[in-house]
Amino acid sequence: MLGMGMSLTIRDFTRVFRQPKAIIIGLINQIIILPLVAFILAILFHLNTTMAVGLIILASCPGGPTSNIIAQVCNGNLALSVTLTAVGSFTSVVSTQVITSLALTYFHTHTETVIELPVLDTMMQVMMITILPICIGMMIHAYKEDFTLRMIKPMKIVSTIIFLLIFIGIVVTNFSTIGQALEKVGIVTLILNLSIIGSGFLLAKIFKLGIKNAISIGVDGGVQNATLGIVVATSILNNIEMAVPTAAYTIWMYTTGGFLMWYFGKKNKKNSATTN
């Protein structure tokens, strides 16, 4: 996040907010289309109540900070990606509660638990993991521009390595759980992931937002805050089984995210070589 901040300026964010269409489309893809697709898939695949609610809990969560790493390496609109993650995280305090409550009612899950997300913890997480280090990076950029320009390429390499380490760490520490999760809801979570990434790119194309914005919208929709999904399922609803779809989805979102990093990284290299 510090490295991302070093590649951003205030102008990058002012451009995003002066033309808020990309933000609105990204939030619609994340907050409305993703849960709707999850509802449809849960019904089409005849998921049992627990798996269905777990899938929708996952879909109700905001984009995760890892989406910013992927967007950066893919050469997407990083300012848009950071904005979508931050705004989506703050709105999730309400949207996740509403969508999860609707899922519990629709699938006749009898629970008297009041869904109250840890508002302060969520906001502090966004501040400490995303906003603060990015602001520090932007300050370094403002005062040491030559240094930050030299660091752009190394930071992309570091971001890629961090992404791989996160992915390997998740697989190793949750190997047995992930295997069971993929067996139960592997296909449906893969379809959900591909659908929401695809809808992000499609919406960006329809509204003529350009490839950089398309990458950020697609990636932010496809990479969820899995930690929050697990907290809602296990800590708030006290149902470990409801976290199974999140475990399966985590593998797919890192797999497709890795593919996008490879594809656009290769494409960007090719374009740079052609330009030179």
**Is residue 275 a part of any domain in this protein?**
no
- Model-level pTM? 0.85
Specify the CATH number for the domain of residue 8.
1.20.1530.20
Domain that holds residue 182: 2-265
Which H, E and C letters describe 65-118, residue by residue?
CHHHHHHHHCCCCHHHHHHHHHHHHHHHHHHHHHHHHHHHHHCCCCCCCCCCCC
**Is residue 271 a part of any domain in this protein?**
no
Domains held by the chain: number: 1
**Is residue 190 a part of any domain in this protein?**
yes
**Is residue 274 a part of any domain in this protein?**
no
**Is residue 60 a part of any domain in this protein?**
yes
**Is residue 276 a part of any domain in this protein?**
no
pLDDT tens track, the chain, 276 positions: 788 788 888 888 888 888 899 999 999 999 999 999 999 999 999 999 999 999 999 999 988 888 988 998 899 999 999 899 888 888 887 888 889 888 888 887 655 555 566 656 766 766 777 788 888 988 998 888 888 888 878 887 888 888 888 888 877 887 777 888 888 999 999 999 999 999 999 999 999 999 999 999 999 999 998 888 888 888 778 888 898 999 899 999 999 999 999 999 888 766 655 655
